[in-house]
Every structure is written in C-alpha cells, then in structure tokens.
Amino acid sequence: MSNLLLKNATLADGSAVDIEISGEKISQVATAGFLKSEAKTQIDCSGLIALPGFVDLHTHLREPGFEQSETVYTGTASAALGGYTAVHAMANTSPVADTAGVVEQVKALGDEAGFVQVYPIGAVTVGLNGTQMAELGAMAKSKANVRVFSDDGKCVHDPVIMRRALEYVKAFDGVIAQHAQEPRLTEGAQMNEGQVSADLGLAGWPAVAEESIIARDALLAEHVGSRLHVCHLSTKGSVEIVRWAKARGIQVTAEVTPHHLLLTEELARTYDAKYKVNPPLRTQEDVEALREALVDGTIDIIATDHAPHPIETKDCEWAAAAFGMVGLETAASVAQLVLIESGKSNWQRLAEVMSLNPAKIAGDSGHGEAIAIGAFANLALIDPKAKRNITSQTASKSVNNPYAGLEMPGAVVHTVFKGRLTVTDGKLVSGGSR
C-alpha cells in the first residue's frame, strides 16, 4: 500500500501530475486527477513545482570537532528545509576526515539524524597539510564508500601530490574537488583585489590566485586522464579556463555558489563580516560571467559552500573574522532568481544544476533521478510564487547569513527523503533521534 500521494504537482516540463509513493520509491506517476490511490497521506500540491531532491556537493557540517558552529543534525535539518535530500560533508573537521574511521563516523551521524543522505568527503592529504596523501583507498572501501576527495578550506598546492591523487582516484572513478587558491598569492588576503580593496585598505585577493590553480589542475587531469571538480568558481577568468578545458575534452566539472551568483565586493564597504568569504565576493562583471556560464553549461552545478561559524567569529572587526556564509535554506531561491526570474533559463536547468548534475558527478545512487516510476522518492516541492523576507535565523546553529534583510523568490514547501516527508508546509518534520 502506498504511503504518500502528491496531487496536482507541476513537473519541470510544465505537466501536471499525481505522484504516488510506496515505501522509498515512486510507484505511480499519472496525469493530475486520474490517479486513484488509497495512500495514507494525501497532499494537494496545486501551484507547486516538483523537482528531484537537491544535492549539495559542498557543505560544511563541522562535526566532529566544531559543534559550536554546526552539528550534522542541525546542518542536515537546514538542508532539508532548503529542499535537499543529499549533502556532501567537507573534510575540514577535527579530527580531519582523512581516515576510514572518521568518514564512517560522519556517515553514521547523518543516518542517525535522518533528514538527508550524508556523503562524507575524504581529505586528499593527511590533516589537510598538503604534504602526505591521505588514506584514499581505505576511505573508498569503507562503509562510507567515499568517491569525492577534497582539502577544501585549503588548496592542494603541491602539483606532485595533486597528480598522485588524480592518479589514485582514477582506479575507482573518484573525483578530486579542488579549492583553487594559490597560497602564496593570497597570504593575508581579506577580499577581492581591486578598487574596493584599495579604497578600504584591505589586503587584496587577486583573481589569478584562483585561475592559475584551475589551469594547472586541468592540465594535470588531462595528463592523467582523471576527473577534476573545481570548487566555488568566482571569476570571469576562471569561467574562461573551464570553458577552454571542456572544449579540449578534459574531464573537468565546476560549481558556483549562490553568493557568487548574487553578491559583489561592494558589500565589503559595510565592513560587515557576514560578507567575508573564501573565495571573496568579486565584481559585478564576474557575477554576470558566472550567471552566463551557469546557463550555457560551462558551470555544471550550484553548490552552497554552507560554512557556519559561531557569532563571535563574525561579529567582530573584518580582519579578525572567519571566512564563510550559511546558505542551505536560500540556495533554491537564488537559483530561481538567477535562472527563472531572469528569463534566461527554465526549471529543467534548475533541476540539472541543483540535483541531476551533482548526483552524477559524485555518483550518488538514488539521487538526481528523473521523477518516474521506480525512482527513489527524493523530491523537493517549491512554491514559485512565494516571496520570503530572509532573516538571519535558520535551522543552522549559526547566523552568518549574507541574505538577511533581502526579499527572495520561491519557497520550499515540502521535502521528501526516501519516501518520507522531512519538511511539510515549510516546517521541519522530526528526523532521527537527536
């Protein structure tokens, strides 16, 4: 017997359907009004867009070690409210996720919370120190089945280690997700290098620090014949390099964050550290280039880089503040603004960049699937006509929200994870035991 019926939902192609869910999978999809079901729970989804549940390839859940910022429970609760059914947890925890034991712990915490599927990302190097390769094979063979590896927060700056890592993950179709930042070029950097940094007297972060690493690593990936994923693209030049690499046939994919699609360096003039982020907010020209690249396919996905911090590390002078922003509950709204409200793309492209493509890059079985009979029931249902006044408060433990005070389009009304409602009517449904 079916457990859930979603009536009168609109798919990305504009068709109105009823979606019946039995257990963890979709059991029927039929033209709206024609499906007869005895489902225990039936929800009228008139006016809502039904999309495959979102997948975030770049999330910082902070646990273990930094529970004052976030826990797996609070981070995944925030993710569910944002329409996510899977998130990938970066390795910069304490201890670092550089062993099978730590990645298995993170996976177990995600399973316990029960809001989304948590996929641990394994560190490329021991302790993120960039000098010795971590236990990539052991993490890949562990219960966590790690396929994405990254030293995010730090760049794998040594080209020899980067080459060896690319060679190693090729054996099990893994991918290296690189935080493109040449460390010597960004020593002491506080924001984008340009006129605004000069006006404010803050140390600048040049675009070439990002672009030079992307170019190097694209060539290494070509040489090795392995897969490279570029984290949080932020400059026009980076877009051009990725476009060149793809034209050359190199196996490279790229992500952009919501904040780099919307916000610019001008916000640094407020000296409000909620706008301090790594890589930094760039120019309007960069924003426009990133938007264009997202539409034309040069950039493959949107990833949040959700980076929660305690208030004391943000409510302070700019130079002393931590880098990072939260963003799980607003990502879909930014995507709608950039792709739909602008008239430049459509809901199918939003589904691709928020769900289908990240799941494909990471090899997330059961996620990023088309809404069809037999697919896992991982769904996000969005009210496209809703308007939200964003506040700093979310389900996250942290309040470093750069969108606070803005009105954003769209709202996630329901989230379904493995056939179970984790969010209904915009409210969180209890996940696991914590």
For the annotated catalytic residues, the residue numbers are 305
Other Cβ atoms within 10 Å of 319 Cβ, number: 12
Tokens standing for 66? 């930094």
3-state secondary structure of 291: helix
Other Cβ atoms within 10 Å of 325 Cβ, number: 27
Cα(198)–Cα(208) distance, rounded to whole angstroms? 17
Cα(173)–Cα(169) distance, rounded to whole angstroms? 6
3-state secondary structure of 342: coil
3-state secondary structure of 118: strand
Cα(114)–Cα(111) distance, rounded to whole angstroms? 5
Per-residue 3-state assignment (H helix, E strand, C coil) for 140-185: HHCCCCCCEECCCCCCCCCHHHHHHHHHHHHCCCCEEEECCCCHHH
* Sign of the alpha-carbon dihedral angle for 40, 45, 51, 56: negative
User: Among candidates 64, 80, 82, 84, which has minimal Cα distance to 72?
Assistant: 64
Phi, psi for 385 (deg, rounded to 5): -90, -5
Phi, psi for 125 (deg, rounded to 5): -125, 155
User: Among candidates 402, 385, 386, 399, which has minimal Cα distance to 262?
Assistant: 402
